[in-house]
Each structure stands twice: as structure tokens, then as C-alpha cells.
A and B are shown apart, each in its own frame.
Chain A
């Protein structure tokens, strides 16, 4: 914000939040010459096919083309996408990729350190179960929960945030005080209490049965939507004053239509960035929950639970604690980098990492 560049005017100048606007740099296409685009992407409204004055042909590129371009220049983020997709595929195809079943016992090979023999790359535990397979299945559980939390809590946060921001006044006051209240509770502690008092196993509410991972995911989602709600509210507060909203109102659009079709699309960028943050929080929370014994219950493997089992078997079997933890770190790092890349791509004026 302090770099003194002129900013694009399509979007809000909300100083507390990451704004979506691709800012215009002073470099215009005409100045840089033939066929190539300026190094920093040009004006926000860049839909001109030909710049007649300079006699140069320009490619028409949408805003999202620029975002994509900038994102792919962030090498760490691209590498992270590859890693995350690979891990997700491994998790989805667990039953085909894992060399063993996660509960397959082999009492002839107990507590074996990592070895190439029999594909026990991550070693085996006290019951001779292959740890690589267990970690793969654990990754599946943890990723499933993380993505579930990301979608559900983003949906809750977006819904509450947009209603609060769009209508303002008492609605806004009430919803935001409620959000503040949730923020005063230490999240892991509340999560532990909920999980502990709900009890282990599947959750049954009326005719519905939620399997363990879904139950844990929903509990986490109900606690972590606050950051998204605040961001979306902030964006809505400034966007609802814009001319295009006024125009939509004048044209007789309903509130719902204005929120969904006119304002919300302008908030997609920041929401996606915050979604990555939430995913990381969800993975770490679920891991801690399972580690402390209030999350996923055996024989279901989850990464946090695997670490707890490793701890119970003593530190001579160091591999049991090490590998699941490394996978958690890898996933979280990858998602954080993706978030960083997205932030830089969506808002080049607030670049945090040099691309």
C-alpha cells in the first residue's frame, strides 16, 4: 500500500483486507513495444484488442488470465500445487497405492526400522503393520477432514459475513459481536471439550449418521469460520457503496441477487486466500485432537493418531513418530505456499514474497 503506485479503480480500497484488484502500473503496453505484454500486467480493464495509436497488436487477456500468469511465476506455489495434488491422488487411490492394508498384521516383522525390503519404507509398528500404508490411509483421513472444514467453514463465514456487511446496522452488530465472542474461546480447548462430551464413534442426530471424520470435520468447521466472516463483512461494507451496486438496485435487482451475482464475485480472491489458511488450521487442529485421543479413534488411521501410537511405543521406534509428522508439515507448507502465491497473484500491490 505504501509503494505509491496508482491503483486500479475496479475494486474497493479496503485497507485492512487483501483486495482483489489487479492494480494498474504506469507502464502501458504502447510504451513497451512489439507484441509482448508489459512485464507487469497492464491496466485493470484490459480488453482492448488493438492499440490503434501505437499501431501495436495486443492480446486481449482477462483479469483471470493475469492472475493465472502471476501465480505460475511464483515457483514455490506451483511446486506446492504439484505436491498437494500428488498427495491428494495418493490419498484418493490409497487402496491401490498402499502396499498393505492399514490393519494388516505381520507378526514376523514387528518394529522394523525403515527398509526397502517388502516395501516397508516407513518401517513397521509393534504389531507388524506396515507404516507407509498406515500413513497413506492417515493422510486420506486428514485431507478429507481438512477439505471438508475448508468448504463448510468458508460457506458459513461467507454467508454470515455477507449478510452482516450488506445489511449493516443491527444485523451487523449482532453477528459481529457473536463472532467476537467465539474468538474469546480458546479454540483447541473448546474443540477438545466438544469432541470429548460428544463421545467417540459416529455421531447420530435423528435419522442422520455422521461417520467419525465427518463429525470431527463439522465440529472444527463450526469453530473456525470467524476469520472468513470478518473479511467478507469488510469487503461487503465497502463494495455495497459502489456504483455498480447502485446500478443493480436501480435496475430492480433483489438483495439476494445483488449479494450473489454482483458483490460476491468480487470477493472470491480474498475468500480463496483465507480458505487456504483455514485448511492449514484444520489440519493442525485435527492432528492435535487425534493426538490427544479425542479425534479419530482406532483402527481408523489419522496422522495425529499415528503420532500418538508412535509415542506410546517408545522412542526407540523413532520412525513411528517422525514420518506422519513430516507428512503433516509437508501438507501444511504446501498449502501455505499456495495461499501465498494466490495472494501475490490476486493483489500484486501487496506482494509479500518476491516472485
Chain B
């Protein structure tokens, strides 16, 4: 087990390095980082010349890559191109906001999806099961940003009819949120709609997995054995079936992080939340490669760490997994 964890960890580091190289080549080959700047009036030739030298843009790409790695490791990802603003403090701030949003949404989504999936499996082909299936299909066919906008439309229309604003439709906080408890309440109030939006796709996907995995377990031999030896239905379901059915979901949730990032980008843009997604779209808007690459590195790291966690957790939870 320990050798497996160590090997898996070392492998992750190799993947991370490879990912950094791919990200860098990809972004640098896609375009000139100074395009936007060159189109901006009031930026002189000499400024651009200086920047080109400073960012080593006159060097070949592998050399540029090494400079960039140096910047990332020793200068906290360096600065944005122009004006030069340190990247990491901004990234740190938006990351905290995003993690808050994602954590709440995923936690609720997993709880709801597990409940829905298990109940669907136990009452297969019931009205509840069919409704849950329908919900999943629609949830997976719906663009995230459209769901967000439709919720906003509903809230705005509702306000038009009744003069009452149910939930704020943008930003993370009011202009003057206060502090302590009142800040937390204000933040929670602002997060209701974004959390709902992020939850839908996750619930749709997870509840399907949970249902399938529960169905497989319920029909397995050891559950039949448990029944045969006279355990009551509740013990069979909760102690024997449910726990084992949860194992595959761990992997699914951990591996879903990459897809979740996409949802975050869109949701934060629609609601104007000061999070990673919004930050990323703004950086792309001015076509500045340095914050973009830093952002991609941070998310790639997250994905790789989650992959690692998923693998190790799976081995821990399911003793049938062999390491070789």
C-alpha cells in the first residue's frame, strides 16, 4: 500500500510537470501575448520593446518555458503583462471565494444525490424513480449558464409582480455587508442562486451513478446471503448494501472536479462573482497569457491532486483492489 501511494505520488508530479509544459506551449503557440497591448492606444513602441525583452519573448519557446517556470516557482507566477500587477495575491483571493461556493454546492449535491440514487434503486421503476431519471436527463442536457439566466429571469419577474426580491442575482456581497454574523448571512443569501445552479448538473450525474451502483450491490450475492441469514431489511440495506454502493461514488465525485471548473467559470460569469472563473474570463478578455497560465496551473494541480486522492481512497475503501 505504502509503495503504491509513493509511486502514485511521484507519478502525479511527473504528470504535473508534463501538464505545465503542455499548458505553456499551448498558450504561447496560440497567440502573441502582446497583441492586445499593441492594439491599445497610448502604449509606446519602447514600452512594448521593453516588455518583449523582459518577458523573454524574443527567445525560443523551450527557453521561454524555463523562464516561466522560474517565475512561477520563485516569483509566485510573476506579474500580469501590463500594467504589471502581482498574480498570486489576486488568484489567492478568488480561489478562496470559489472554494467556498464549490464546497457548499458539492456537499449539498452529494447528500441529495446519494439520497435520490439510493431511494430510486430501492424503488426501481416507481414514480419517484422515473421522476429522478427525467430530472437527470434534463439536468445533463441543460447548459449551465442558461439555467443560471433562467433563475435570474424568474427572480426578476417575481420581483416585478410582487416587488419582493427573493435572492440577490449578482455579486458576492451587498455594498455594505457588515461584519461577523451579518456578513455571513449576507454572503449565504448571495450564494443561494449560484449554489443551486452548480448543484443541478452534479446531482443529475451523481444520482445516476448512485442508483446504478446501488442496484448492482442490491442484486449481488453477499446481499442475498445477508438476507438469507435472517437480517432485517433495514440492516441489509444500510449496513451491507449502502456502504459498498458508496465506494464508486467517491471516485466519481473526485474525478468530476475538472468538469466542475467549467461550471464554475460559467456560473461566476453570469452572477458576476469575484471567483476563479470570473478572474479567468477577464484575463482572457485582455488576452494576457501570464494570469491565464497561472490559473491553468492551479486548476491542473487541483485536478491531479483529486485524481491522486480518488485512487488512494478507492484502494483504502475497497480492499479488493490490488496493487501491482
Contact = CB atoms under 8 A, between A and B. Distances in A.
Nearest to A328: B143
A197 B125 contact: no
A48 B107 CA distance: 57
A325 B138 CA distance: 12
B80 interface: no
A91 interface: no
Nearest to B16: A184
A338 interface: no
Given A333-B138, A336-B137, A193 B157 contact: no
A183 B258 contact: yes
Interface in B221-261: 258-259, 261
A224 to B, nearest CB: 12
Contact of B265 (A183, A188, A333): A188
Nearest to A330: B141
Interface in B157-182: 157, 160
B141 A280 contact: yes
A304 B270 CA distance: 13
Contacts of B110: none
B149 A325 contact: yes
B71 interface: no
A322 B146 CA distance: 8
B191 interface: no
Given A304-B143, A315-B152, A354-B125, A196 B284 contact: yes
A186 interface: yes
A197 B296 contact: no
Interface stretch (A27-35, A131-139, A284-292): A284-292
B146 A197 contact: no
Given A197-B289, A280-B141, A187 B19 contact: no
A275 interface: no
Contact of A197 (B15, B31, B141, B220): B31
Interface string A1-21: 010000000000000000000
Nearest to B218: A2
Interface residues of B, number: 54
Nearest to B212: A352
B24 to A, nearest CB: 11
B280 A189 contact: yes
A202 B149 CA distance: 29
A185 B19 contact: yes
B149 A307 contact: yes
A235 to B, nearest CB: 21
A332 B147 CA distance: 14
A47 interface: no
Interface string A320-355: 011001001100110011000000000000001110
Contacts of A292: 145, 265-266, 269, 281
A204 to B, nearest CB: 13
A193 B160 CA distance: 38
Contacts of A328: 141-143, 146
A294 interface: yes
B234 to A, nearest CB: 23
Given A197-B30, A292-B281, A184 B307 contact: yes
Given A189-B280, A193-B292, A197-B27, A181 B143 contact: no
Interface in A253-302: 280, 284, 287-288, 291-294
A322 B285 CA distance: 26
A329 B140 CA distance: 9
A199 B26 contact: no
B261 A336 contact: no
Nearest to B304: A184
20 contacts: A2-B219, A181-B19, A185-B258, A186-B296, A189-B299, A192-B280, A192-B281, A193-B26, A196-B285, A199-B31, A291-B266, A292-B269, A307-B145, A311-B149, A315-B152, A316-B160, A325-B150, A328-B141, A329-B143, A353-B133
Given A187-B262, A322-B150, 5 more contacts: A184-B15, A189-B295, A294-B284, A315-B152, A318-B153
Interface of A: 2, 180-181, 183-190, 192-194, 196-199, 280, 284, 287-288, 291-294, 304, 307, 310-311, 315-316, 318, 321-322, 325, 328-329, 332-333, 336-337, 352-354
